[in-house]
Structure 1
Amino acid sequence: MTDTPITPAQRDELAAEYALGVLDGEALARARSLAAADPSFRAEVARWSARLAPLLDDVAPVAPPARAWPGIDAAIGRPQQASNVVTLHRRVTLWRGIAAGATALAASLAVILVTQPVATSAPPVAVAAQVPLAAMLGDDQRDLKLMASYDPASRRLMVAAASDMQADPGHAHELWMIPADGKPRSLGTMPGPRMRAQLPMLMAKEFREGVTLALSVEPMGGSPTGLPTGPVIASGKLERA
């Protein structure tokens, strides 16, 4: 299976997933094989690591409770010595940072952009229109955070929750775009913590930098009015990725 040819887009996505360390099974075996034998694949992995690393700035550090250190020492049978506690603290701090990075980048993975080449003969305005967009959706009153990413070339939108997204069997989460005219347009309901959609051409023309994305709680199946009827639990503006 690992010898099955893959498209450039699949190869790019595989490199991103390998950079994040979220692969397993055959996909992980294929990525390791490519990384060992293909310098260009290794370069793609490095490119994704550099591209997604700035998203770590959006992850707030969380200190573990003081009781965690004695509990860890007891679990591993380590004597309660000051030098060992300091060493363990450093190691756990390192892993906490790695875990926080994985959370942010895994969310970004669900919104990976497949870059499309732009013809050199295209006018400057057309080139600018192909710049990928991203938005971090959140709310000061809630822990819910989502990452949205949009590729204008394919009109593909991807959204993923970076934190727990509680399922409610009686309600649905509906995503909206709010352009300059202030009138919300539904982008569909999220069936789970991840959502992928290809925007219609007319809607894609309004999907640009500065547009607000919002997530509301609606009845099952979505809003019956075509406008948000429930509380907005997360929102954010599209910016250049």
Structure 2
Amino acid sequence: MVRLEQSVVGVGGVVVRMRALGAGWPERDGVAVFNRVYLAVTEELGRRIDAGEFPDRRSASTLDVRFAERYLTVAERGPVPACWRPLFQFRRHPGVRPLQFALAGINAHVGHDLALAVVDACRELGCAPEELEDEFERVGDVLVALEERIREELMPGPDLLQIADPLTHLLASWSLERAREAGWSAARTLWALRGLPELAEEFADRLDAVVGLASRMLLTPLDR
């Protein structure tokens, strides 16, 4: 497991940590595939924040960093929650395609981590989730644009990807837009339950398990 002892903060610090992780993994490693995808997202978000595309720069940066920290904590030192476990278990499976690794990581991060990151950011900023909705949507727009690029770059060519290819059907079963919507609802629910810590923990555990099941399905081996 790659470790970075140096403490770095802000979006730039997140980029440094992701690059350090990627440097220690083989290119075909499933977590490395996701890490490259997420690094591109983070770099793009950093550029847009610096360019003033987010009205509230502090809120956008806080949400971005808290979001990334959820993944980095798992990748750097663990423990590995249920939503991430399939990706880490299957990361070297020869029958899983790069696009599956990328989408399984996005599913774990958006379906589970994003809700918790919104709550983390709200606590840090002293605001309710509704006050971060604009930043949430703008981050989501970057993710959607990147998902389209990922599919273009990692999807097999039309001569290989036929209608009978299992990957075609697997990809049709998952939607980033639905994952985003579910993440926002989960964030609002967790915030509403903040005064009931036992119930909030139970809800978060259930969310973790459900998202993990979806990630496991996305990583169904398709090739020998």
TM-score normalised over the length of structure 2: 0.30
Which structure has the highest strand share of the two?
A: 1
Which structure has the highest helix share of the two?
A: 2
Structure possessing the higher radius of gyration over alpha carbons = 1
